[in-house]
Amino acid sequence: MLGFVPHCSSSEYKCHGDKILAASSDPRVRLVCDWWQSHNCWYAFESHEGALWWGKHGGPPQFSKQVSTLIPPRETYVRPAQPRSKASCFMCDQPLFDSCTDVLRFVVMSCTCSNWYMHTKCRKVFNIPRCCKCNGIYSDTVCSHSLVSFLGKPKLSLQ
């Protein structure tokens, strides 16, 4: 990094960099400085593909090719699909569903700030009419869904 001085503030570092750039009229010095200030340059050091991309999009081609040989290609794999969350009853904190595919009747209590999900038997004993966060009056909706249909079909992840 051209002219880097540890423990400087941003303004001190900028002044120092400006002095170094003013000391040289060689356009290659400015070019190198511009490369190091570009987020594309940092992307080049994150992956093999990033280095090759940078060399084709404004970075130094030969240097980018050398960097790409030092960084292994990113490995991707498919993680098995899983439901995005575990649904539990707001009142008893027990699982709302017995399995991913069994259809179950449950209650959705809604206010202006959130939704709460409960077993129908838990809703019968829950007697608080207003939300403790927004003071809105709850509305109840009885639903019949499986966990998969309630959460939506899980998508494959490439992480």
Distance CA 3, CA 90 (A): 58
The predicted-structure confidence for 3-30, as pLDDT tens digits, reads as follows 556 677 777 777 877 787 888 778 877 7
Question: pTM above 0.75?
Answer: no
Q: What is the mean pLDDT of each run of 10 residues along the chain (159 residues)?
A: 63 77 80 72 78 86 86 68 67 82 84 85 87 84 76 52
pLDDT at 159: 45
Alpha carbon of residue 69 to chain centroid: 28
| The token pair that represents 67 in the structure block | 């960097």
Alpha-carbon span 107 to 140, nearest angstrom: 6
Count Cα neighbours of 7 within 13 Å in the Cβ-side half-sphere.
0
Which pLDDT score is estimated for 158?
Answer: 46
